[in-house]
Structure formats: structure tokens, C-alpha cells
Structure 1
Amino acid sequence: MNTTITERLDVIQIREDFPILKREVAPGVPLVYLDSTATSQKPLAVIRAMSEYYERSNANIHRGVHTLAEEATAQYEAAREKIAGFIGARKSREIIFVRNTTEAINLVTFSWGRKFLQRGDRVLLTEMEHHSNLVPWQILAQEKELLLDFVPVTQAGLLDLQEFERLLSHKPKIVAMTQMSNVLGTINPIKEMTRLAHQAGAVVVVDGAQSVPHLPVNVQDLDVDFLAFSAHKMLGPTGIGVLFGKEELLESMPPFLGGGDMIKKVHLRRFSPNDLPHKFEAGTPAIAEAIGFGAAIDYLNRIGMERVAAHEHDLISYALEALNEIEGLTLYGPSADQKGAVASFTMRGVHPHDVSQILDSQGIAVRAGHHCAMPLHEKFGLPATTRASFYLYNTRQEVDQLVRGLAKVKKIFG
């Protein structure tokens, strides 16, 4: 990948849309934000859309017939339509607003899982899952006496697909897996894995928290049954995410939470649930956040996800090459052609938190810890790693600043 990708994306112009990127974290120390895997920064278009809602149209949605309520409802439902189009859903009613990816997976676990899974049924996960796609299944497994199986991760940071096929022979009822690892950056072959899982009779749940913000994702092409992702990782606000579910599956599931808006009728001793998608959206939702999410989708659509992915591929290729030159630094995960723009590493003799602190003193924001993937770190015999992650607003120059920052780490620790 050559630098013309970066030039076509016009990252310098894009950076003008993100006010926080002009910040100095100390006098004369500009921010170098390399933590987008944890949360992305927000463009002015998103900030202004939310502000305008509060300034002009703030009202509760769906039940009001006055002007503000109708405006708020129209904006909220327009955001749902935009998100459906963004991921290629057949209908907007397949888009359920939730707080985040974690809540989306919990919704599947405790609604679909409680209804359809029985004692002794198997759930197939992978060793690279975020805790959000492990703990809900563990809770349900304890409650219903389910069996959990795990697809191993190889030392190269890839899923062992031979073992995946062998584990499918046990006929799991659920296959739940990440499309892109938040630690290794590994992009898994979800389309092929979904095809094989369906052949084995399984329902497929995909954690798209890291993939949807960075890659073109089409749920009809992938044929996944459920897909979970969060707005805050894709230029949108915190506190809102999405569960995509195939209509027939969502129709078969009981409500997850009870309260307002998820009902059609309520009597003292019984109720009738609402139609999709409202059946799963109890109470007053995150209205401003949904509108901000819609603005983020508009922004990404204007740029084009193919261009975002190409730009990030250029950055991670450049970053891996530069980081590999640093003596005593060990990178984890596959090569650039099999991963997203995530570089997790350790430095010999230096704790990842110390690496992060010294980089922060130079304005460079990275993440240190187990990144909510403790079993994966245990697999590699690591208590923690340092993680640098990139997005559409990052540049090669910022990669160079990271490399210089790590040289200072080495100098301090000898």
C-alpha cells in the first residue's frame, strides 16, 4: 500500500473536523491519539447534531404528537434507517438500539439463550474474545448447565480453523465470535466461518465492535444471525450501540427488559409486547446519542469505508515495519494483511503501564493492560500489553512520533 491512499483520504483535512486533535496535553506537547480501539474521537458534525437536537427539538419520542416530539422521533428513526443501510440490513426493524456492544450480546444471551438453550447444549466461542463475548455466556452456562468450547488461537495470532471445524462436529447451538480482535487486530474469516456454523445447525453471533468502524461490513453478505457494535468506536457518542438481528430470530425472542415503549398493551396481570424493534427498547432511549450516531454514519459514508480500510492498512503496515526495528520490542498478532490497525506489544524489561506513562508525557495516548481480554493474554503468558491503535484521522507522522517515544522509553529504562 503506498502513500497515495493517504493523500486520497486527505487526512489533514479530516483532522480539521476533530477539535480535540488540536489539543496540547501539556504546554508545547500536542496530542497524538493512538487509542481509537478503546474509543474514537468525534467530529464536529456529530457534536453539532447532538447539540442542535438539545437546542431545537428536545422531546421524548414516539408517543408525543406535538412538533418537538415529532421532530425528535423522525430524527431518531432516521438514524436507525442510516445504520441499517450502513451494514446492509434488509429492514430497519432489524436494528435494535442498546447502550453498547456488551448490552447487545447480553440481550442475545438472556433472551434467545434463555428461551432456546437447554442443559447440555454447547456454545462455541474463541480464545480471542473480549470479556463482553465471554462473561454473558459463562453466566448463562452456569444457570442452564451449558457446555462451553473454545476455538484455539495459534502463536501467529490466528484462529485454528481446523480445530474450529472439529468443534463444529459437536453440533453447538451457538457460535459466538469476534470479527476483529481488539488485542491482536486479527480479522477473522467470518463469512466462511458462518457458512460452516450454519451447516452445523448453529446460530451465529458476531462481535463487530472493532470491525464495523474500520471495514465494510454487510450482514446479508456475511449471513450472520446477530451482529453487535458500538457508536463510540466509530466516531459516534458513548452510551449507544446496536444489535442487528435477523427479523425471524428477533420475532421469536421474548423482551429483554420491561417498561415503557416495549409494550403494546398492559393489564394488571399481563402485557402484550410491542412490534420490532420497539419490543427490545424499553424506556426513554438515548435520543441525542442516536441522532449523533446517525451523524457519524453520514460522516463515514461521505468518506467511504473502503477508503478508511485502505488508509488504516497503510498505517498498520508502516507501523509494524517501524516497530519491528526496535530492539527488545515484541509484537503480537498476524502480519498487516491479516489484521486491522492495531499494534499490541511488550518491551523487554519494561511494564506496559510504564511504557504508557512515558508515552503520555510526550502527548502520545496508548492503552496498557489486558484490554478486557484476560484469557487471550494468559494464552500468550502475558499479564498485559501496550496497544497502539489507529483510525482515519491518524498519520504516518504520528507513527514516527510513537517510535521516537519508545526510543525514550528504552533510554530511561536502559
Structure 2
Amino acid sequence: MQELAPVAAAPVLDAESVAQEFPILSRRIGGHPLVYLDSANTAQKPRAVLDVIYSALAEHNANIHRAVYPLAHESTEAFEGARRRIADRLGSAYEEIVFTKNATEAINLVAYAWGRAFVNPGDTVLLTEMEHHSNIVPWQLLARERGAHLRYVPVMANGRLDMSALDRELATSPKLVGVVHVSNVLGTVNPVEEIVARAHRMGSRVLIDGAQAAPHLPLDLGALDADFYVFTGHKCYGPTGIGVLRAKRELLEAMPPFLGGGDMISRVDWQESTWAQVPLKFEAGTSPFVEAQGLAAAFDWLDGLGLDAVEAHESEVTAYALGRLLEVPGLTIHGPLDGPRGTAVSFSLDGIHPHDVAEILGREGICVRAGHHCAQPLMRKLGVAATTRASFGVHNTHADVDRLVDGLVEVRRIFGVM
């Protein structure tokens, strides 16, 4: 029988008031109030972010880095100002922040630009068994092209990485270690500071997938010292179409461009071209200048709530959810029940397919995800084809969790497994 760790302290954030800042949360689905429990998939957008996006398009819309009229100057200043604010928030230099379209593209940028230049035949890229496809497939493509090898740190039965196995793999000095900061399936918070330090001692570079960490945890990427850190905007209460690669400047300087085109060049001749300074060297074409402003606004909004308060509230709601879910007969939670944990909770309900669970809950206005969560190898490790996943955001409350549990009881009734 699964046992739960002690519940965290009471929330220090008024989530009901916060929820009122999200226009979409006033919707009703099939006559039921919307309960959004899929923030690990994409987060909803507060009015503060929507207002900034509207203003950028309605009042300041002009392409950046290309014109000298006042409107274009305003747009360029807003875009680069957003980069500065994001860099400051992450404890990083302005030149270390590269905008991409999402975290997946950011990882591909590293795999193709850094990997093609520095990964040689026979080298090893070390990943973990809890990685999202976005931190597996680009390295598979690179390994096939460069004649490199992929190896994986195992996940233990408690949902955490086998750190002894990590040390054994690091002893072979892999060229790069790629690790997820917070698992989108298990909710595991990996000890990335320790992993970075151990890897660097062995001469390995480190890439961290922070897609599930950036919306929830305070980040000082300068202090963390990872060589590459990626995340996406739409999970951080910002818009789609923008991601961030934070990379050490000396690595960006040494890497060739990822994409070619306008804005990433210094000079173009018929046969040769030279490149712009970083970070623009990696931002070919029209950049997501509206989306960057929206992402900076999302971080400003989160900071206004207080990152410590956000983390404490989400941890408490997740702990409450773990306890309530374990009351449901036949329900198994996949992932840690104690220690540091993210807000994604994956579970199986005996005898009922996750898609059926999600479909029935959806009719009740309860939004959860079902499937392999872009982590098919991990699903096979867990011995399941798919799971149902509830994931919590800053606007969720105990009442939302109670609605979920009541919905699961109804699912079991419909399938006759009471």
C-alpha cells in the first residue's frame, strides 16, 4: 500500500483571488465550473499577460531590428527590454539568453549547433530514463549522424534517479549529460545542483530541461552553473511560440549558427557570410517580439505574487492531492510520495483506461491529461501504456482537488468497479 509523506504547511497565497485573474477560469463546461488541472501541459494566461500582448499588437506593433521610425524603435526596445528582464530574473547575462520557439527547439539548437561541432565518433551522451522525448530524440539524431553513443541513468522504484549509477556513468566522462529538472510524468525534482557539480568534475557539459521547473521554482541559473538550460514560455503563464535557451556565453561564441537568414548576420556576400554577435547569431528571421513581452510579463506577474508563496502554495495543494487520491480504491500514483516534488501527479486506475478517465472527467469540466506524456520509454519502464495526469498551478485550490476525487469516484461507478 502506498503511504504518504507528512502534509506541507498551509498555503500562504489566496488562490481563489488569483484564479479570478484568469478569464478562462470563469467558463463552464457542460454546465459545470471549469477545473483546470493540466498546467504541466500548458498554463492558462492571467489578464496581466493578455493585456501586455494586446498592447504590443494594438499600440506598438512593428518589426524589430529593421527600421528606424518611432514605432519600430518602441517595439525593439520592448523586445530587448523583455530579454533583459528575463536574464535578470534568471541570474544570467543578457547575452546568454537566446529566444527560440519552445524548449524542444532550444534542445535541438544545442544538439545541432554545439553537438555537431563538439560531439565526435565514440563520444557518449548521457541522459536519464525520465526524459521527455524532446530530450531524447534530438540526441538520437545526433548520435546517428556523429557515431556517438547514448546511455541512460536508471529511475528507481521510488521515482528518483539512481545516483550511484549516475556516478558510474560519469566515470566514463560523457561529452554531455542531459537531465530533466522536474519530471513531467513522475513529478520528481532532480538534484540538479549536485548533478552539475559531479558532471563538471568529470569534464562533462550539462543540459537541463527546465520546462516543468521554470513556472514553479525560483531559478538562479548563474549560480546553478549548468552549461545549457532550456524552458518554454507557455507553461510559465506566458504565450505559446517562445522558448528560452540560457547558455554560457563562451559556448555560444564557439557554436556555429543553428538557422540562417535575416537578423543573425553581420555581413552577407555571394559566397560567404559573417555572423551577428550572440545572442542574435541564433535568432534567424523575425523574432517572437510580442511573445517575449508576454513571457516577461508572466514572470513579472509571478514575481508580484512572490515566488516563495507560489512554491509553498503549489507544494501544499500537491500534498493535499496526493493524500486525497490515495483514498480512491484501485488508484496507483506513479512517482515520489515524499521529498521534493513537482506539481504533476500521474496515476493509474485499476481496470480503466486513462483516456476513459480523462473523457469522463472532461464532461464534468475537469481538465486532466491522459496518454504517454511524450515519455514512452518511461511508460514502458513503469509497465503501463499510459497514465492519467493531474497537474497543478498557482490558481488551484483544495476544492479543485475535491472535484477531481469526486469525479474519479464517478468514473469508477460508471465502470462498475465500486
Structure 1 match to 2:136: 134
The one-letter code of the counterpart of 2:72 is A
Of stretches 18-27 and 178-187 in structure 1, the one that deviates more from structure 2 is 18-27
What's the TM-score, normalizing by structure 1? 0.98
CA distance in 2, matches of 1:53, 1:225: 33
CA distance in 1, matches of 2:409, 2:338: 23
CA distance in 2, matches of 1:18, 1:94: 32
Is 1:252 matched with 2:254? yes
Structure 2 match to 1:70: 73
- Extract unaligned runs of 5+ from structure 2: 1-5
Q: Secondary structure at the match of 1:9?
A: coil
Structure 2 match to 1:203: 205
CA distance in 2, matches of 1:294, 1:77: 11
2:410 corresponds to which of 381, 400, 408: 408
Is 1:240 matched with 2:242? yes
1:80 corresponds to which of 75, 78, 83: 83
Structure 2 match to 1:11: 15
Structure 2 match to 1:100: 102
State the shift of 1:410 in Å.
0.7
The one-letter code of the counterpart of 1:235 is Y
- 1:289-368 alignment, distance < 5 Å: 289-368=291-370
Partners of 1:343 and 1:389 within 8 A in 2: yes
Partners of 1:215 and 1:309 within 8 A in 2: yes
The one-letter code of the counterpart of 1:69 is A
Structure 1 match to 2:158: 156
Instruction: State the Cα deviation string for residues 269-291 of structure 1 (Å, max 9, x = none).
Output: 00010001100000001111111
State the shift of 1:326 in Å.
1.0
Is 1:286 matched with 2:288? yes
CA distance in 2, matches of 1:336, 1:217: 22
Is 1:45 matched with 2:48? yes
CA distance in 2, matches of 1:352, 1:221: 40
State the shift of 1:217 in Å.
1.3
CA distance in 1, matches of 2:308, 2:133: 29
CA distance in 1, matches of 2:251, 2:344: 33
Partners of 2:8 and 2:319 within 8 A in 1: no
Is 1:22 matched with 2:44? no
The one-letter code of the counterpart of 2:16 is I
The one-letter code of the counterpart of 1:52 is S
Partners of 2:7 and 2:320 within 8 A in 1: no
CA distance in 2, matches of 1:258, 1:334: 44
Is 1:120 matched with 2:131? no
- Structure 1: 4+ residue segments shifted above 6 A: 1-4
What's the TM-score, normalizing by structure 2? 0.97
CA distance in 1, matches of 2:86, 2:377: 32
CA distance in 2, matches of 1:153, 1:397: 33
**In percent, how many aligned pairs have the same letter?**
51
State the shift of 1:45 in Å.
0.9
State the shift of 1:3 in Å.
8.6
CA distance in 2, matches of 1:328, 1:244: 43
State the shift of 1:305 in Å.
1.6
Instruction: State the Cα deviation string for residues 103-132 of structure 1 (Å, max 9, x = none).
Output: 000000000000011000000000000000
Structure 1 match to 2:3: none
Q: Secondary structure at the match of 1:213?
A: coil
CA distance in 2, matches of 1:400, 1:337: 23
The one-letter code of the counterpart of 1:287 is F
The one-letter code of the counterpart of 2:53 is M
CA distance in 2, matches of 1:67, 1:17: 33
The one-letter code of the counterpart of 2:55 is E
Structure 2 match to 1:392: 394
Partners of 1:313 and 1:336 within 8 A in 2: no
Q: Secondary structure at the match of 1:61?
A: coil
Partners of 2:125 and 2:149 within 8 A in 1: yes
CA 1:362–1:77 in 2, change beyond 3 Å: closer, same or farther? same
The one-letter code of the counterpart of 1:122 is T
What root-mean-square deviation, in Å, do the aligned CA atoms of Structure 1 and Structure 2 show? 1.1
Partners of 2:64 and 2:75 within 8 A in 1: yes
State the shift of 1:26 in Å.
1.8
CA 1:5–1:266 in 2, change beyond 3 Å: closer, same or farther? farther
CA distance in 1, matches of 2:394, 2:127: 30
- Extract unaligned runs of 5+ from structure 1: none
Structure 1 match to 2:57: 54
State the shift of 1:221 in Å.
1.9
Q: Secondary structure at the match of 2:62?
A: coil
CA distance in 2, matches of 1:116, 1:340: 33
